[in-house]
Amino acid sequence: MYKTPCRKLTEQGLATCWISTSSYGLVGSCVFQSLENGARSGHSTRCLLQLFRSSTCERITFQHLNFLKRQYVTKNTRGLCQRAKAKQEHLVAPLEDQQPLLQEETVIRQVQQIPTLKPPPCTVTLPSETCIHEGKASVPVSEEPATSQDAHKEKQWKEVKVNLEDLPGIYARLSKIKLTALVVTTASAGFAMAPVPFDLGCFLLASLGTGLASCAANSINQYFEVPFDSNMNRTKNRPLVRGQISPLHAVSFAAACAIPGIALLTLAVNPLTGALGAFNIFLYTCCYTPLKRLSISNTWVGSIVGAIPPVMGWTAATGSLDTGALLLGGFLYSWQFPHFNALSWNLREDYSRGGYRMMSVTHPGLCRRVALRHALALVGLSALAPALDVTTWAFPVVSLPINLYISYLGFRFHREASRGSARRLFFCSLWHLPMLLLLMLTCKKPLRDKEDSAAAAAPSH
Ligand code: HEM
Ligand SMILES: CC(C)=CCC/C(C)=C/CC/C(C)=C/COP(=O)(O)OP(=O)(O)O
């Protein structure tokens, strides 16, 4: 009886391991965020945060890591405080609208004529002047009438406070949750297609680990692309671009997903699957993401990233990398070209504004040819499946209609090069993949057939 290579860790040991690692990371990032929120509002929380931070000022903190300095100047690091001077009231920023100021001045004059109304003295702490670790007193601002205080407050740099109930939605968008869901589906299909008895525990652990790894990869990808995403209509509302969470929070979330995810895959499934997951995070964040701005070859690298999850599903079930795993990966590899090339066709302006090197922008003919070529490749791969003993011969027949349809749309996209043909091909790709995987599962080669054919192939003594 075939024993799946799924490591038989005790359930509670495994659960403890995962819960402790990921909850530390997640709780850590939430606590950090709520402390940061609290520090802005309450003095006691500020002392607590100061305690937390001053206790770590000798040790390396996140703020010392260069890559986090880039986007946001944090308030609590000596070298990072901006020495902005409080803006003189009469100096108005060039982009500021003069109108409200004129109204304010009239209102101020009216207010000053009313003898009883004396606005209370106010002390406003300017963020750039509140280097918490220096414990600087708040900078007193001369007594101003109420309305201009509001105007003054309006001009101040404000940190966006995260409401804890918004975090699930923010994390979902950081993880590109719909893309991650389909990635996990492909990994599950790879697991289910493997020629071994189905192990539910291993299946769930492999799916969870792959999903966490995908969430981590997408979060890091978005962290690296903040400056460019802000230039694209499609991505300008992403959490980091809008400042809904800090880079430190996003990176903590990515770590809180990556560490337990890869640990689950390595310890609870098998080292090969864990290694593939870690490699894929590296490939997506450190190869594909920078390549997007350098060369059109990024799409081929991205297709490898998308092809690895079904291979991980197969290796999770079998513990080995064989032709069936590569076939599943081949399906995903080819599927991504019609999927993305069609999508990017209607995003050419956006992609060029974001400074990305995409075929649709620089090589439009190649973009359409590659999409058609790989749509047709899906027909060929479906015929290969029974030859490699992954499915029965019914699969190429039942999958032919949807493969011919996506190829037809690919042909129209290639010939017409219109927005409509591109949109139809992209949306077709979103249902074609799950449908193809479902048909593959229904046509999976029965195990006993495999054992019979293996026995028949074995030399008789
Ligand atoms: C070369 C590889 C790929 C590239 C360049 C790519 C690119 C994209 C882009 C730019 C979008 C639009 C996202 C948005 O609306 O902001 C998208 C949507 C999507 N992609 Fe891909 N993708 C690739 C591979 C994959 C893979 C491997 C999967 C899953 C197996 C996938 C599943 C999806 C899904 C489900 C959507 C719709 C998500 C939504 O509407 O929010 N993609 N893809
Ligand atoms: C196990 C594991 C690590 C799986 C990772 C799977 C994964 C994240 C696949 C995505 C493939 C891909 C290139 C998407 C486009 O990203 P993009 O940056 O071009 O999309 P964007 O422009 O919308 O940000």
Of the candidate ranges 120-134, 194-208, 275-289, 419-433, the one whose mean pLDDT is the lowest: 120-134
| Averaged pLDDT of the chain | 78
Supply the pLDDT for residue 164.
83
Query: Of the ligands numbered here, which is closest to the C-alpha atom of 181?
Result: 1
Q: Indicate the residue among 261, 286, 321 that finishes a domain.
A: 321
The protein residue whose alpha carbon is closest to atom 19 in ligand 1 is 179
Whether residues 292 and 182 share a domain: the answer is: yes
Do the interacting molecules here have an ipTM over 0.85? yes
The protein residue whose alpha carbon is closest to atom 16 in ligand 2 is 302
Most confident region among 35-39, 78-82, 147-151, 282-286 by mean pLDDT: 282-286
Q: Is 123 exposed, middle or buried (0-12, 13-18, 19+ CB in 10 A)?
A: exposed
Closest ligand 1 atom number to CA of residue 176: 41
Whether residues 257 and 400 share a domain: the answer is: no
Of the candidate ranges 4-18, 31-45, 343-357, the one whose mean pLDDT is the lowest: 31-45
Domain membership flag for residue 237: yes
Q: Indicate the residue among 278, 295, 321 that finishes a domain.
A: 321
What is the value of pTM for the model shown?
0.72
The protein residue whose alpha carbon is closest to atom 8 in ligand 2 is 214
Whether residues 224 and 342 share a domain: the answer is: no
* d(CA 264, ligand 2 centre) in Å: 21
Contacts of 122 (CB under 8 A, 6+ apart): 141, 143, 144, 149
Domain membership flag for residue 29: no
Supply the pLDDT for residue 294.
94
Whether residues 314 and 192 share a domain: the answer is: yes
Range of 411's domain?
Answer: 323-447
Domain membership flag for residue 44: no
**Mean pLDDT (whole number) for 86-113:** 51
* d(CA 179, ligand 1 centre) in Å: 6
Domain count, the chain: 2
Closest ligand 2 atom number to CA of residue 176: 23
Whether residues 313 and 330 share a domain: the answer is: no
- Report pLDDT digits (tens) over 384-407: 999 999 999 999 999 999 999 999
CA 324, 301, 209, 438 torsion-angle sign: negative
Q: Assess contact for 185 and 306: CB atoms under 8 A.
A: no
Q: Assess contact for 182 and 224: CB atoms under 8 A.
A: no
Domain membership flag for residue 313: yes
CATH of residue 435's domain is 1.20.120
* d(CA 284, ligand 2 centre) in Å: 7
**Percent of all residues in the chain with a pLDDT value above 90, rounded to a whole number:** 57
Whether residues 438 and 355 share a domain: the answer is: yes
Whether residues 168 and 220 share a domain: the answer is: yes
Whether residues 218 and 347 share a domain: the answer is: no
- Report pLDDT digits (tens) over 195-233: 999 999 999 999 999 999 999 999 999 999 999 899 888
Supply the pLDDT for residue 163.
81
* d(CA 302, ligand 2 centre) in Å: 7
Q: Indicate the residue among 282, 303, 321 that finishes a domain.
A: 321
The protein residue whose alpha carbon is closest to atom 22 in ligand 1 is 340
Supply the pLDDT for residue 353.
86
Domain membership flag for residue 308: yes
Domain membership flag for residue 21: no
The protein residue whose alpha carbon is closest to atom 5 in ligand 2 is 214
Nearest alpha carbon to residue 162 among 25, 30, 49, 22: 30
Of the candidate ranges 109-118, 221-230, 242-251, 268-277, the one whose mean pLDDT is the lowest: 109-118
Q: Is the shortest distance between the CB of 158 and ligand 1 below 6 Å? A: no
* d(CA 295, ligand 1 centre) in Å: 19
Whether residues 347 and 204 share a domain: the answer is: no
Ligand 2 residue neighbourhood (C-beta within 6 Å):
179, 183, 210, 213-214, 217-218, 221, 235, 277, 280-281, 284, 288, 302, 305-306, 309
Q: Assess contact for 406 and 428: CB atoms under 8 A.
A: yes
Whether residues 185 and 298 share a domain: the answer is: yes
Length of the chain counted residue by residue: 461
Q: Long-range contacts made by residues 255-258, C-beta under 8 angstroms, separation at least 24?
A: 255/25, 255/216, 256/21, 256/22, 256/24, 256/25, 256/26, 256/28, 256/29, 257/22, 257/25, 257/175, 257/212, 257/213, 257/215, 257/216, 257/219, 258/212, 258/213, 258/216, 258/217
Q: How many CB atoms lie within 10 A of CB 199?
A: 19
Task: Establish how many alpha carbons lie within 13 A of residue 354's alpha carbon, considering only the half-sphere containing its beta carbon.
Answer: 26
Nearest alpha carbon to residue 274 among 194, 181, 209: 209
Q: How many CB atoms lie within 10 A of CB 75?
A: 22
Whether residues 303 and 185 share a domain: the answer is: yes
Query: Of the ligands numbered here, which is closest to the C-alpha atom of 360?
Result: 1
Supply the pLDDT for residue 459.
67
Domain membership flag for residue 22: no
**What beta strand segments (E) does 229-373 contain?**
none
Query: Of the ligands numbered here, which is closest to the C-alpha atom of 210?
Result: 2
List the beta bridge partners of residue 444: 391
Radius of gyration of the chain, Cα coordinates, nearest whole angstrom: 28
Q: Is 359 exposed, middle or buried (0-12, 13-18, 19+ CB in 10 A)?
A: buried
Residue 79 has pLDDT above 50, yes or no: no
Domain membership flag for residue 16: no
